[in-house]
Amino acid sequence: MAFVIISLFFGLAGGVIGRIKGSSFVLWFLIAAIPPFVGLLAAVMYRVEYDEPHRRCPTCGKVVPIHDALCTRCGTELEYPAPEGAPQPVAAP
């Protein structure tokens, strides 16, 4: 009975952490509840998608991650933008 209670609380914690990071509550609840300690650690180490750079689609204006090749709304093919701080070649004097 103690294992069930521990699994329930670890599942709730993993589900909440997964939902905060933009994923499914149910998915992370199950991942964190079945192997309680390992599942909660996986939910904590799961990457946050909000920190990834985004850009707007030039056709429809939807905000998409920078690594997407196609807009998910209108299907426009998106070019990968040039890095902002790219070093420029310098001519020899």
pLDDT (tens digit, 9 = 90+) per residue, 14-66?
Answer: 888 888 887 888 988 888 888 878 887 887 777 766 667 888 888 998 888 88
Q: Quick one: tokens of 76? A: 């426009």
One-letter identity of residue 26? V
**Contact in structure between 5 and 13 (CB atoms under 8 Å):** no
Contact in structure between 7 and 33 (CB atoms under 8 Å): yes
Phi, psi of 59 (to 5 degrees): -90, -55
pTM of the complete model: 0.50
Where is pLDDT greater, at 83 or 86?
A: 83
* pLDDT given at position 92: 56
Q: Is the dihedral of CA 66, 67, 70, 74 positive or negative?
A: negative
Task: Return the amino acid letter for 85.
Answer: G
Predicted pLDDT of residue 85: 59
pLDDT of residue 23: 80
